[in-house]
Amino acid sequence: MAFVRNAAWLALLLPTALLGGALIGQYGFDLYPCEMCIWQRWPHLVAIVLAVIALMLRGRPASTMLVLAAALAILTSGLIGGFHAGVEYGWWEGLTSCATNVPAGGDMLDSIMSAPLVRCDVAPWSLFGISLAGFNFLLSPSAAILILVMLAKRRKDTGHV
């Protein structure tokens, strides 16, 4: 069961780190997310919840299925990130709309007029020419594949089909 437990920890830690980094970027460094950035966050949140439940179920058969579902959620986020990175690099066309963060309360018109407009085809930050969406595309599918390999190794070692 060590393979399942380790896979569950990976399924918890990677999306937590990526989602945490995105939130720190948003609230600490004013890197406002576009619509596709938000899309990438939802599967990570699902993976976190599934991994926590899997860790709480320690050793029960359902924990393996939850970790598998978390891996698929992580993969989904990474594939959305790949599409988003392609839009940022101009490889294909993305959405025609843009997104903004408008706080609740106060004068709605003033909030809308002062809110930053965030385009999906412009990377707000990059490192070595790789955007945040690009890093998600590199890290998430790799982690999902590693989780799947760990689960397959568990099945092979225990004889489960």
Does position 148 have pLDDT exceeding 70, yes or no? yes
61 or 114, higher pLDDT: 61
Confidence of residue 125 (pLDDT cuts 50, 70, 90): low
105 or 143, higher pLDDT: 143
36 or 102, higher pLDDT: 36
144 or 161, higher pLDDT: 144
How many C-beta neighbours within 10 Å does residue 2 have? 9
Instruction: Confirm if 17 and 47 have CB atoms less than 8 A apart.
Output: no
Element (H, E) at 91: none
Q: Tens digits of per-residue pLDDT, 50-94?
A: 999 999 998 788 899 999 999 999 999 999 999 988 888 888 877
Q: Tens digits of per-residue pLDDT, 7-47?
A: 999 999 999 999 999 999 889 988 888 888 889 999 999 99
Give the pLDDT of residue 96: 55
Q: What's the predicted TM-score (pTM) here?
A: 0.79
Angle between helix axes 132-158 and 61-88 (nearest 10 degrees) is 150
Domain ranges, ordered by start, for the chain? 2-100+111-158
Give the pLDDT of residue 59: 77
Confidence of residue 161 (pLDDT cuts 50, 70, 90): very low
98 or 48, higher pLDDT: 48
Q: Tens digits of per-residue pLDDT, 128-139?
A: 877 888 889 999
Does position 155 have pLDDT exceeding 70, yes or no? no
Eight-class DSSP state of 39: H
Buried-exposed string 126-154: b where 16+ CB fall within 10 A, e elsewhere? eeeebbbbbbbbebbbebbebbbebbeeb
Does position 111 have pLDDT exceeding 80, yes or no? no
